[in-house]
Amino acid sequence: MSTEQSIRLASGRRIGHGEPCFLVAEIGNNHQGELARAREMVHAAAEAGADAVKFQKRDMDALFTQAGLSAPYGGANSFGPTYGEHRLALELSLDDMAELKALSESLGLVFFASAWDAVSAREMLELGMELFKVCSADVVNIPMLRLVGEAGVPVVMSTGMSLWPDIDVAVAEMRRYHERIVLLHCNSSYPCPDELVGLPVMHALARRYGLPVGYSGHEAGLGPSVAAAVLGACVVERHFTLDRTQRGTDHQASLEPAAFAAMRSMIREAEAAMLLTEKQLCPAELASAGKLRKSIVFARDLPAGHVLTPADVTVKCPGNGISPVHWDEVLGARLTRSVACEELVDWNSLLLSDPAAEAAAVPGTPKGRRRKEAAGERS
Least confident of 67-71, 103-107, 249-253: 249-253
Residue 106 in contact with residue 98, Cβ under 8 Å? no
Phi-psi region of 29 (alpha: psi -120 to 50; beta: other; left: phi over 0): alpha
- Region 349-368: mean pLDDT is 56
In the chain, % of residues over pLDDT 70: 92
- Dist CA 307 CA 280 (whole Å): 38
- Those residues whose C-beta lies under 8 Å from the C-beta of residue 367, and which sit 6 or more positions away, are 328, 361
Residue 235 in contact with residue 156, Cβ under 8 Å? yes
Long-range (24+ apart) CB contacts under 8 A made by 328-331 are 328/367, 328/370, 329/358, 329/370, 329/371, 329/374, 330/296
The predicted structure's pLDDT at residue 286:
87
- pLDDT-based confidence at residue 360 (cuts at 50, 70, 90): very low
Residue 228 in contact with residue 217, Cβ under 8 Å? yes
Least confident of 63-77, 125-139, 208-222: 63-77
- Dist CA 364 CA 181 (whole Å): 51
pTM, rounded to two decimals: 0.85
- Those residues whose C-beta lies under 8 Å from the C-beta of residue 62, and which sit 6 or more positions away, are 117, 118, 119, 120
- Region 133-159: mean pLDDT is 97
pLDDT at 154 over 70: yes
Q: Which amino acid is at 325?
A: V
- pLDDT-based confidence at residue 290 (cuts at 50, 70, 90): confident
pLDDT at 88 over 70: yes
Which of 105, 99, 62, 68 is CA-nearest to residue 86? Answer: 68
In the chain, % of residues over pLDDT 90: 83
pLDDT at 14 over 70: yes
**Dihedral sign of CA atoms 175, 177, 178, 181 in order:** negative
pLDDT at 210 over 80: yes
Q: What is the DSSP letter of 371?
A: H
- Dist CA 338 CA 72 (whole Å): 99
Domains of the chain plus CATH, in order, are 6-273 (3.20.20.70), 283-378 (3.90.1210.10)
The predicted structure's pLDDT at residue 368:
43
Least confident of 62-66, 180-184, 354-358: 354-358
pLDDT at 114 over 80: yes
- Region 4-28: mean pLDDT is 92
- Dist CA 273 CA 278 (whole Å): 12
Query: How confident is the model over 239-281, as pLDDT tens digits?
Result: 999 999 888 778 888 999 999 999 999 999 999 999 999 999 8
Residue 334 in contact with residue 353, Cβ under 8 Å? yes
- Region 115-127: mean pLDDT is 97
- Dist CA 340 CA 321 (whole Å): 15
Which of 80, 63, 52, 78 is CA-nearest to residue 115? Answer: 63
- Regarding predicted confidence, which is higher, 290 or 303? 303
- pLDDT-based confidence at residue 367 (cuts at 50, 70, 90): very low
Residue 6 in contact with residue 215, Cβ under 8 Å? no
In angstroms, how far is CA 173 from the centroid of its own chain? Answer: 29
In angstroms, how far is CA 180 from the centroid of its own chain? Answer: 21
pLDDT at 347 over 90: yes
DSSP 46-87: HHTT-SEEEEEE--HHHHS-HHHHHSB--STT-SSSBHHHHH
Q: How many CB atoms lie within 10 A of CB 200?
A: 11
The predicted structure's pLDDT at residue 374:
44
